């Protein structure tokens, strides 16, 4: 037997316009008041709960009073109550995301690019050099990828660099070279976009656009990417929580573009033995929380090509939908991040070693 | 007007033995079930809530059911419900600490050592070398401290070192030298204890015992320290939360020793420009959560003597009850951590500069 | 006596065009090779060192060879050697920043806005509401600030929000209201800018522009801010190292705008008792590394108004040049972050309590 | 051609007793002096370098002087130079560990317990309940493990708990129950030890002893474990770096016990969606740094049984030598950590799913 909650001195439920109290179990906040809050302060909070469109259900206690606020909670609703002096804490029950949430859309999203599907039973390998450097380099790269059966090549024309004195990428010239490699070899191309003003032209030249870790909460960029008809790879920010990561995807989706692919690429921790800490637990949890495809980039996480191969295998075993991995025709000559780029022969070995792992988890490589 | 909660189909509150439902507002857990949990699973959870001695109050919702479990929640109670398959999350309202909590003991604890009081309006400076090295060094140190008006000298005989090949301290010999310095100069002495077996002898030689950051959750050591009649400085673990820190103090207190002084000494973050990140926000929050005195050790946090002085001042301004700071008669000759030890003349300057800051926050130096 | 280093079998230094070996002690990288690296591989590295414009000085060892590369090291130079297979690590001696570095410009930068100077002996308080909400609210805010002697008011028209469903600020309308408050009261105004396209108009309406923590490495935004004639407050990213923080300032400066004010606002750590961990050690270290003014924002770090006042005092004691603090005429009605906004009377108290602290560290409030 | 370094004004190498300068390339520290350090200060540092048994090789530079100190560097040697006022930084080239290091012992260590080998081509699954609760529970657990082919069962008699009010384990009684299960079923048993005083008795009852994350730097415990003839599983501390982790193993080894198994169990990061962040990159890097076997515990990292299975597979794919996983005959009844314990049928499924992954990386399950 399930108790039905009732309110008021008469033992009869109070009606609140438009809401059925018994149907609001999960749609609520719990407002915890400080100990010894005075009666009139409690009433003030109850008034505020009503003013903000919620139904208040107070529980008096020995030590403190707790008020449930039933109704449609927005992400900033809890904060609006925390600002009241006698409020100690506000706990929210429901998760804040909608479009990206598995609860609201239980079927896995499959992002289609050319004849590639990301998010179904295929394990997708996106590989290529960190940056577009020269026509020769990028076309040679495309050929190496094609030879290995890779259908999507990565290559950055715009480069986010910690120092203003470092190589910043070739910009639109780079996009054009990427397009040339695409036209010549038939490979699909993926590239990063950093500036809102570059979104339209990048969407014209590339098959997939990428948001780098540093821009995961560049909300204007996310909104702009919501307006183009081009799949987006969204990299997790270096210190972004799972919730913030999904909310960033929610920005793109709410602006109109549902083709978002999440990419775990390592987070910032206290550890200094590697550049970032690859978080494969995130892959497992994201699969539970969201219907969006999830890929993993071990190249940037490690900064070291020797560690990339085992971590690609671990990503596949953890249930990722694919990987994003750096391969350079001649890593020592790379203008950027050569230390983490695989040699072409290492790509071949990686693919060979990935095959049985993918098979073991029901994915096709 | 405050609604009283009622239960059951008749509009009458169900009696639950020994608890008055209207008095349990704050003493509860909130158990959130997964969406689409079946009726019999919900009833199973309700049974479990009763079995574990709580009063269940379920709220049915559109999307999910939420069950309140009213009663005395233990720190591991939420976990015992998380283990049920249909449970998504368990939220606890009350804080887990008792003896150390300001809610249960609103008056500030004052720890008395000799004629020194820690936790009242005095700002206490505990200063001295990192380690006890030689008789000459420790007696010279004691004299420098006395000359500067310092009443408690630090000095470690047991040293926790990352490497087994580094200087491990002089152990009991060191304790004896510390005692010699104490006898000769009348200064009180403070020292670290690491091994449960050394607690009785250390308590015999020193006036205050210290638990290092690495041992903050060495629970057997904490219990042993609860049995001696000697104040304890408990350092925050390098990645210990405020809650864990207070719970560690709770271990000592629950074992019988109420004279615990908390010491913030820097936490481990992603930042590599300094050894640890001194967390003065912790001082502010600890003052709100607990009645125990709080001191700050900027020497270990920074690892750099140049940064110690401004951070001592910041600690005083944030409301700390004192500082623990390293001073060495000849830092270049220190066997350990010389880089963070102040020169004697810097101690004199520090005290002079601290005075007006302490005065500004109502403390006496 | 100082040894002079010499190279080659004859005992005579080898000449390398354009560099005097004896003058390059600090300008170098140290390339550590893996154990058992073969002779021809070592020679290959030496060749590469020369190709990249450095002078190689190899040291053969029992276990491994170490090669010094003398010359002007760029931020990405070490990486370009890490990409070579036999290289284990590359250590850089010099720091990567130039314009922002105290080494290259030892005199403190003073940023002037109207008749306010930031970075000299004045302690500057920038205060105001989180967001521009209504004409009434912002003008009332300006009056409260003026009454308290505040010369610069904060107020955001563009709001970076984790959720796309939360209040996003009033944009250009907000800028206009800010201008109105400025015109009516004579107060200077400070506001955030997020989108490169909004920089020119924001610079027109506001006296100081702010880069939020999430945009600290939005490099296109930084470059754009380098082109306007308006001081910039650069907030530290939530997981940005000191080095990255200074490098972000370097972007703005290298693009032409030298009036950059650094703002510590809390970093992301494991601690969940507060929103972020205010890092006052950063203030101390930044003062040593850079000549730029440094201010502190405890409102965003804590998310809790009760903790703001002691942390403002700690910031002053640590040596900050000022604070950025949220104050709202009616915090409970704030559209955003009300819980961290001071009540007007708290601002008055804060200023009174700050005065003696500032005096103690030689600052004028 | 490799240059040989020479010292002194005459172009002839200075002899330093007992060291051949040309053989010390890798055995050194690099001491970086502050800019504008005076000649006599430089000479003072050079003297100190000699006094501490190193051979000094100074490099004068435009901006600063760098001094190499050649010789056998101890872990605390750099600190001893950092304490000198004119020293800016000390960089160490060689790694600090010896016995645990792959450089000094390139062959993989195989730890043998009964007929089980850990560290060879077998993938070892250690499974069982979090705690020893009752005779019935532990014997039933042992039978479930045996039925699934598990050869080593975990089960804690001593429990490290954040709160003193939570279940603390049954201590020696628990050890006896564990022994009973061992005698009855023939399964090997693994258990945690926390107190130095319990090491001898625990070693008598159990086949493998475990050091928990909170005790990773309880150096007295590590030393005590070095004295018993029983393999030790050493769990990584929640915020321990790879270096500190290996150094903790070094403590046990230097005290006489070479049978150490490293266990990655999740680290503490900013993420709150899971209890800890499992760091599989550590597995990859540890395999490169040390010859010791490495296992992974996803139960404690996640705190959630649903996430354990994919992460076990990822651990195997990353190259771990085994896993440590919680399984309980009836998780809902577990006294501790039930939410992360697998149901017996989940263990069977896990083993089935692990088999092809292990095969893919050349391991036998």
Q: What is the pLDDT of residues D41-60, one digit of tens each?
A: 899 999 989 988 888 888 77
Between chains, do D353 and A360 touch, taking CB under 8 Å as contact?
yes
Strand order across the D28-33 sheet:
D55-59, D66-70, D28-33, D87-92
Q: Considering only CA atoms, which of B99, B76, B81, B100 is closest in space to residue B31? A: B81
For C262, the enclosing helix (H) or strand (E) is strand C260-264
* Contact criterion met (CB < 8 Å) for D311 and A318: yes
Point out the residue among B26, B42, B68 whose CB comes nearest to the CB of A62.
B26
Q: How many alpha carbons lie under 13 Å from residue B25 in its C-beta half-sphere?
A: 26
Q: Centre a 10 Å sphere on the Cβ of residue B223 and count the other Cβ atoms it contains.
A: 20
Rounded to whole angstroms, the Cα distance separating D360 from D357 reads 5
What's the rounded mean pLDDT across residues D65-85? Answer: 81
Segment (H or E) for D85 = none
Q: To probe the interface with C, which of A76, A164, A224 has the most C CB atoms within 10 Å?
A: A164
pLDDT in tens, B159-215: 888 888 888 889 999 999 999 999 999 999 999 999 999 999 999 999 999 999 999
Q: Which residue in B194, B195, B239 is closest to D238 by CB distance?
A: B239
Mean pLDDT of C306-325: 97
- The 10s digit of each residue's pLDDT in D269-286 is 999 999 999 999 999 999
Span C4-17, pLDDT tens digits: 222 222 223 233 33
* Mean pLDDT, range A94-118, rounded to an integer: 88
Distance CA D191, CA D101 (A): 26
Chain centre to alpha carbon of residue C169: 25
d(C-alpha D164, C-alpha C314), whole Å: 34
Contact list in C for residue A218 (CB cut-off 8 A) is 194, 214-215, 218
- Which residues of chain C approach chain B closer than 8 Å at the C-beta? 239, 241-243, 266-267, 269-274, 277-285, 288, 301-302, 306-307, 310-311, 313-319, 353, 356-357, 359-361
Q: Which chains does chain C touch, 3 or more C-beta pairs < 8 A?
A: A, B, D
The H or E element spanning position B336 is none
| Residues in chain B, total | 365
Q: Are strands D28-33 and C322-326 parallel, antiparallel or unpaired?
A: unpaired
**Alpha carbons C108 and C1: distance in angstroms, whole number:** 36
Q: Measured between alpha carbons, how far is B113 from B188 in angstroms, rounded to an integer?
A: 8
| Helices (H), ranges, chain A | 39-51, 77-82, 135-147, 171-185, 199-205, 219-225, 242-254, 280-289, 298-302, 305-318, 344-360
Strands C294-296 and C322-326: parallel
Residue of A nearest to C218 (CA): A215
- Is A96 close to C332, i.e. CB distance below 8 A? no
Residue keyed to tokens 């693994």: D190
The pLDDT of residue D62: 66
Range from A92-101, A186-195, C302-311, D312-321 carrying the lowest mean pLDDT? A92-101
pLDDT digits (tens, 9 = 90+) for A120-136: 999 999 999 999 999 99
Is A94 in Cβ contact with B22 (below 8 Å)? no
With an 8 Å Cβ cutoff, are B83 and D331 in contact? yes
**A340 token code pair:** 């983490």
Domains observed in chain C: 21-92 (3.30.70.1140), 111-360 (3.20.20.70)
- Among the partner-chain residues A279, A302, A360, the one whose CB lies closest to the CB of D360 is A360
For the residues of B151-165, what is the DSSP string, one character each? Answer: -EEE-BSS---SSTT
- pLDDT value of position A21: 33
Q: Is there a contact between A301 and D281 if contact means CB atoms under 8 Å apart?
A: yes
Of A246, A318, A247, give the one whose Cα is nearest residue A279: A318
What's the pLDDT score for residue C337?
77
- The DSSP H or E segment spanning B310 is helix B305-318
Compute φ and ψ for C9, nearest 5 degrees.
-65, -25
**Under an 8 A CB cutoff, do D11 and C7 touch?**
no
Comparing A16-25, A150-159, A239-248, D92-101, the range with the smallest average pLDDT is A16-25
- pLDDT, position D94: 67
Separation between Cα atoms, residue B63 and residue A95, nearest integer Å: 12
Average pLDDT over residues D309-338: 93
Is-contact B327 B286, C-beta < 8 A?
no
Instruction: Out of A83, A161, A337, name the one closest to residue C331 (CB).
Output: A83
Does the structure show a pLDDT above 70 at B16?
A: no
Nearest-CA distance C254 → chain A (Å): 7
- pLDDT exceeds 70 at position D5: no
Q: Do A2 and B46 touch (CB under 8 A)?
A: yes
Cβ of A159: how many Cβ atoms within 10 Å?
22
Helices and strands: H and E segment counts in chain A: 11, 14
Q: Which residues of B touch A56 (CB under 8 A)?
A: 3
pLDDT the model gives residue C14: 31
- pLDDT given at position B141: 97
Asked if residue A1 lies in contact with residue B50, where contact means CB atoms within 8 angstroms, the answer is no
Q: What local confidence, expressed as pLDDT, does residue A64 receive?
A: 76
Q: What is the pLDDT of residue D283?
A: 98
Phi (first) and psi of residue A270, to 5 degrees: -70, -15
**Cα C353 from Cα C345, distance rounded (Å):** 13
Nearest to A356 among D241, D311, D356 (CB): D356
Distance from CA of A272 to the nearest CA of C (A): 13
Flag if D164 and B255 touch (Cβ within 8 Å): yes
Q: Name residue C154's beta-bridge partners.
A: C190
The residue of B278, B279, B280 whose CB has the most chain C CBs within 10 angstroms, and thus the best one to mutate to test that interface, is B280
- 3 state SS of C18: coil
Does position A33 have pLDDT exceeding 80, yes or no?
A: yes
Q: D18-39 burial string, b = 16+ CB within 10 Å, else e? A: ebebeebbbbbbbbbbeeebee
pLDDT beyond 50 at A92: yes
Angle between helices A135-147 and A171-185 (to 10 degrees): 40
Q: What is the ipTM of this complex?
A: 0.86
> Cβ of D164 and B338 within 8 Å?
no
Q: Which of A315-324, A337-346, B119-128, D30-39 has the lowest mean pLDDT?
A: D30-39
* Exposed/middle/buried for residue D162 (C-beta within 10 Å: 0-12, 13-18, 19+): buried
What pLDDT does D193 receive? 97
Contact D120, D110 (CB under 8 A): yes
Residue whose entry in the numeric block shows the structure tokens 């102040």: B342
Question: How many residues make up chain C in this entry?
Answer: 365
| DSSP line for A114-127 | TTEEESSSBPEEEE
Q: What's the mean per-residue pLDDT of chain A?
A: 88
Query: How many CB atoms lie under 10 A from the CB of residue D115?
Result: 7
| Residue range A134-163: mean pLDDT, rounded | 95
- Residue D23: what pLDDT? 40
Q: Rounded distance, CA A277 to CA C301, Å?
A: 25
**Structure token pair of residue D248:** 């903790």
Compute the residue count for chain A: 365
> Testing the interface with D: which of B339, B344, B346 to mutate, by most D Cβ within 10 A?
B339
Name every residue whose Cβ is closer than 8 Å to that of residue A160 and which is 6 or more positions away in sequence: A192, A194, A212, A214, A215, C217, C219
């Amino acid at each position: 037997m399930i108790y039905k909650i009732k309110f008021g001195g008469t033992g009869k439920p109070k009606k609140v316009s438009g809401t059925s109290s018994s149907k609001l179990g999960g749609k609520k906040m719990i407002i915890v008041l400080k100990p010894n809050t005075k009666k009139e302060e409690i009433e003030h909070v109850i008034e505020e709960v009503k003013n903000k469109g919620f139904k208040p259900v107070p529980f008096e206690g020995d030590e403190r009073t707790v008020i449930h606020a039933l109704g449609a909670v927005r992400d900033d609703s809890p904060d609006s109550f925390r600002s009241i002096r006698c409020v100690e804490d506000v706990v929210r029950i429901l998760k804040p995301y909608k479009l990206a949430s598995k609860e609201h859309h239980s079927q896995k999203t499959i992002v289609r690019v050319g004849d590639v599907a990301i998010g179904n039973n295929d394990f997708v390998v996106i590989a290529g050099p960190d940056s577009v450097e020269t026509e020769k380099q990028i076309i040679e790269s495309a050929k190496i990828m094609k030879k290995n059966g890779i259908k999507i090549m990565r290559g950055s024309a715009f480069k986010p660099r910690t120092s203003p004195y470092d190589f910043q990428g070739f910009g639109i010239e780079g996009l054009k070279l990427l397009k040339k490699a695409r036209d010549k070899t038939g490979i699909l191309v993926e590239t990063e976009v950093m500036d809102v003003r570059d979104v339209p032209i990048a969407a014209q030249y590339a098959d997939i656009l990428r948001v780098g870790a540093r821009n995961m909460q560049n909300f204007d960029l996310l909104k702009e990417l919501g307006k183009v008809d081009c799949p987006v790879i969204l990299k997790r920010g270096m210190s972004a929580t799972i919730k913030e990561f999904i909310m960033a995807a929610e920005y793109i989706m709410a602006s109109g573009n549902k083709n978002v692919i999440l990419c775990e690429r390592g987070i910032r921790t206290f550890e200094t033995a590697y550049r970032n800490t690859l978080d494969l637990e995130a892959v497992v949890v994201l699969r539970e929380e969201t219907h969006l495809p999830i890929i993993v980039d071990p190249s940037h996480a490690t900064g070291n090509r020797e560690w990339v191969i085992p971590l690609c295998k671990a990503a596949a075993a953890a249930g990722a939908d694919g990987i994003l991995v750096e391969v350079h025709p001649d890593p020592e000559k790379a203008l950027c991040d050569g230390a983490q780029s695989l040699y072409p022969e290492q790509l071949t070995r990686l693919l060979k070693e990935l095959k049985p792992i993918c098979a073991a988890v029901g994915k096709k490589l």
